[in-house]
Chain A
Amino acid sequence: MAAVKQTVEHVASLEKYKHGFVTDIEQDFAPKGLNADIVRFISAKKDEPEWMLQWRLDAFERWLALEEPAWAKVSFPRIDYQDSYYYAAPKAKEGPKSLDEVDPDLLETYKKLGIPLKEQEVLAGVQGAPRYAVDAVFDSVSVVTTFKKELAQAGVIFCSMSEAIREHGDLVRRYLGSVVPVSDNYFACLNSAVFSDGSFVYVPPGVRCPMELSTYFRINAENSGQFERTLIVADKGAYVSYLEGCTAPMRDENQLHAAVVELVALDDAEIKYSTVQNWYPGDPETGKGGIYNFVTKRADCRGDRSKVSWTQVETGSSITWKYPSCVLRGNESSGEFYSIAITNGRQQADTGTKMIHLGANTRSRIISKGISAGKSTNTYRGLVSAHPKAKGARNFTQCDSLLIGKSCAAHTVPYIEARNGQAVFEHEATTTRLSEDQLFYAMQRGLSQEEAVQLLVNGFVKDVLQELPMEFAVEAQKLVAISLEGSVG
């Protein structure tokens, strides 16, 4: 109970960031620093097969030879990779068989997250709770997995990555690293060496996953870099929708988060991947203490007529550096990217997408809404390319930036490469300032300044919000408002 009390007091002491609290659960740390032994430690902790260990060690070797990239429009102090923990797990008790066995502190944490997605009810086993399958990632290790049976009946595999490596080794081995190769980039390579856990989804041919899959990621251990690894495979004609939401406790030191998400869609398969990211953005004045979110997310539309849709609402982190991308390999495959990126205070975001058209008659659509407030910097960076075989490739891109206040910045950096004469790419971009005229107009009708900003901003991002699953859209709308509190006047 002392821990709970401490947590409650901690929460009470926080004003600005309502998700900033710490749950005191005994940590099982790997020693600080990074070397081949740490990689072996992580692998051994997870009881991994030899091939996995070799894969990690290989990645580690390659990582040593790589340089940290510097091309993004973000700046941060040099990260000392030897001054971090690379493994932290709540002490496992053989894995809980029912909710009664779940650490009460954990459940308390879910409560405090204010999870509106009914996961709480699901986790608490409430009758009539909506059918969301929750694979809760708590500090790197999946603790609770629900609805497994029903999914199993449909033949869907939804489990933690660690479990997948042990139980579904063949599948993991076939697809892991096949979208984001081990040495794809510095952070993905680091992730490949030390990833702790994440989610694995496999939907067999012709199966429509019977429920939305969702995972909550939450950073909870001080100084523990987070290296989630997610792999989702939709086999021929399969469909799956996956939701990912994030919150994190308050920290003084910057925390590196370098996740890798790989999606594979085979012939006629469809994957929808939605993210709401709300990590601690750092002190609004100094930017101190926020999360570094350096993520590699990529989808391979490997099969003909396959389809992948990324939707993201990025409001947190002190630095966001991510480009959820689609490799449109299959003929007539299509990729979509819907993004809302909000920066306030001292936040920096360099985000966008890559649509790489390899197959014939491939299609892609990009709708990006960037909002900058405070003293933040918001950059859209996107690549649309058509390779020689991608005859008839089509892309439509719409990039809109909204500036709130006088000290923020918005940048749009589109790269467009058409290597055949039959590709049609359209790019539209606007930058507008939230106008005082509009604000006054709304206030004259009775809205407070904050309400007016909220209404106008929600209007600005509407095209993207409506791409989110209903439950998420409501939460995201609130999040947008919270993120911009105090940004005007």
Chain B
Amino acid sequence: MLSVQDLHASVDGKEILKGLSLEVPAGEVHAIMGPNGAGKSTLSYVLTGRQGYEVTQGSATLDGEDLLALEPNERAAKGVFLSFQYPLEIPGVPALTFIRTALNAQKKARGEPEVSAPEFLKLARAKAAELRIDFDMLKRALNVGFSGGEKKRMEILQMAMLSPRFLILDETDSGLDIDALRIVADGVNALRSPDRAMLVITHYQRLLDYIKPDRVHVLSAGRIVASGGPELALELEREGYDKYARAAA
């Protein structure tokens, strides 16, 4: 699925990722943990093609296909989805309109027929119910005036509707109370499947109680400095990142 080799990337001329390598096979969930400023969000933006994040060296491929050569929307059509740490507000555009436009743009790019309005609404109703989102909320402008928890749930709803292959969750637990966290995690877990892979970026072990990773990686100063099973997350929770920060320095 995802293969990242010796990735170097800079923002405003400052190198943030310094030779990051990572393999996430299909069917697996990998967690990336690390202290502030380690490059976690940078990794998610580089993989999704955000402007201003310049790759200077290395490669990133999805099923052997070079991701870095593609525009952000082309990557989306290939099945790359990023659940944002801070989802954006889109004034004047109802959530339903936004998601349907996105879904049809992706389908068009893949040469698939567009989804019809009744089909789409049926799907939206079902997914909204699963995530306990009031359907009327989908008629409101996307994320405008939504609470932090509502925004995160809306991200997961979009993810469920767009049905991506490779999912990146960037600090999805931040701003969620325990009930919301459970709902969101259930939504994410429902998407686990043998032909999907996930990268869960988080500060805290808490989220990993709900979304159980197959592997845990420690990102520090732009590199993966340690990898292990779920027990690594527990160790980090106990002992902090200090040891790895020193190792990286």
Taking Cβ atoms with an 8 Å cutoff, the residues of A that contact B are 435-438, 440-449, 451-452, 455-456, 458-463
B96-146 interface (Cβ within 8 A of A): 97-99, 101-103, 105-106, 109, 141
In this assembly, does B50 line the interface, its C-beta being within 8 Å of a C-beta of chain A?
A: yes
Tell me the bound Cα distance from A462 to B144 in angstroms: 15
Contact A447 B91 (CB under 8 A): no
What are 6 pairs between A and B in contact, CB < 8 Å? A444-B73, A444-B75, A445-B73, A446-B76, A446-B102, A446-B103
Given known A-B contacts A436-B51, A440-B51, A446-B77, A459 and B101 have beta carbons under 8 A apart: no
B87 at interface, CB cutoff 8 A: yes
Report the minimum CB–CB distance from B190 to chain A (whole Å). 20
Residues of A with C-beta under 8 A to B105: 445-448, 451
Contact of B73 among A436, A437, A446, A455 (CB under 8 A): A446
- Residues on B with C-beta less than 8 A from A455 are 90, 93, 97-98, 101
Chain A interface, >50% SS class: helix
B106 with A438: CB separation less than 8 A: no
Question: Can you list, as one digit per residue, whether each of B59-90 has a CB less than 8 Å from chain A (1) or not (0)?
Answer: 00000000000011101110001101001111
- Whole-angstrom distance between the Cβ of A82 and the nearest chain B Cβ: 48
**Chain B hits for A458, CB < 8 A:** 92-93
Q: Are B73 and A448 touching (Cβ within 8 A)?
A: yes
Nearest CB in chain A: distance from B79 CB, A: 10
Contact among B52, B84, B91, B106 with A446 in the assembled complex (CB-CB below 8 Å): B106
* B73 x A441 contact (CB < 8 A): no
Q: Beyond A448-B105, A451-B105, A459-B141, is A443–B92 a contact (Cβ under 8 Å)?
A: no
| Min C-beta distance of A468 to chain B, whole Å | 15
Write out the residue numbers on chain B whose beta carbons fall within 8 Å of the beta carbon of A440.
50-51, 72
A459 surroundings in chain B (CB, below 8 A) = 90-93, 141
A442 to B91 alpha-carbon distance, docked (Å): 13
Closest to A461 in B: B92
Q: Chain A residues near B48 (CB, 8 Å)?
A: 444
> What sequence of 0s and 1s flags, for each residue 191-219 of chain B, a beta carbon within 8 Å of any chain A beta carbon?
00000000000000000000000000000
CB of A442 within 8 A of CB of B90, answer yes
**Are A445 and B141 within 8 A (Cβ)?**
no
Tell me the complex Cα distance, A436–B88, Å. 11
Q: Is the CB of B101 within 8 A of A447?
A: yes
Q: How far is the CA of A435 from the CA of B77 in the complex (A)?
A: 22
Q: In the complex, A446 Cα to B81 Cα: how many Å?
A: 9
Residues of chain A within 8 A of B172, CB atoms compared: none
Which has the most chain B C-beta neighbours within 10 Å: A447, A449, A452?
A: A447
**Contact present for B102 and A447 (CB under 8 Å):** yes
Could you say which interface size class chain B belongs to? 20 to 34
B199 vs chain A, min Cβ distance (A): 14
A463 touches B92 (CB 8 A): yes
* Chain B residues in 8 Å Cβ range of A456: 90, 93
Residues from chain B with a CB closer than 8 A to the CB of A451 are 73, 101, 105
Please, which residues of chain A bring their CB within 8 A of the CB of B99? 445
How far in angstroms is the closest Cβ of chain B from A467?
14
B98 surroundings in chain A (CB, below 8 A): 442, 445, 455
Residue of B nearest to A438 (CB): B88
With A436-B51, A447-B73 as known contacts, state yes or no: A442 contacts B102, CB within 8 Å: yes
Chain A positions within 8 Å of B76 at CB level: 443-446
Q: Which residue of B lies closest to A460 (CB)?
A: B92
User: Which residues does chain B contribute within 8 Å of A446, judged by CB atoms?
Assistant: 73, 76-77, 102-103, 105-106, 109, 162
Report the 10 A-B pairs with minimum CB-CB distance, sorted nearest first.
A459-B92, A445-B102, A459-B93, A446-B106, A446-B76, A462-B92, A443-B72, A441-B88, A446-B105, A446-B102
Say how far B7's CB is from chain A's closest CB, in angstroms: 19
Q: Residue B220 at the A interface, CB < 8 A? A: no
For the A-B complex with A444-B76, A445-B102, A455-B101 known, give 4 more contacts whose Cβ atoms are closer than 8 Å: A438-B88, A443-B73, A445-B162, A463-B92
A485 CB to nearest B CB, Å: 17
- Bound state CA distance, A447 and B103, in angstroms? 9
Closest A residue to B82 by CB, please name it. Answer: A444
Cα–Cα, bound, A452→B84 (Å): 17
**B189 to nearest A CB, angstroms?**
22
Question: Are A448 and B71 neighbours in the complex by a CB distance under 8 Å?
Answer: yes
Within the complex, the shortest CB–CB distance from A351 to chain B, in Å, comes to 21
Query: Residues of A contacting B141 with CB < 8 Å?
Result: 459
Chain A positions within 8 Å of B84 at CB level? 441, 444
- Min Cβ gap A380→B in Å is 18
- Residues of B contacting A442 with CB < 8 Å? 90, 98, 102
Please give, as numbers and ranges, the residues of chain A lying within 8 Å of B90 by CB-CB distance. 438, 441-442, 455-456, 459
**Cα of A449 to Cα of B50 in the assembled complex, Å:** 12
B72 and A444 form a contact (CB under 8 A): yes
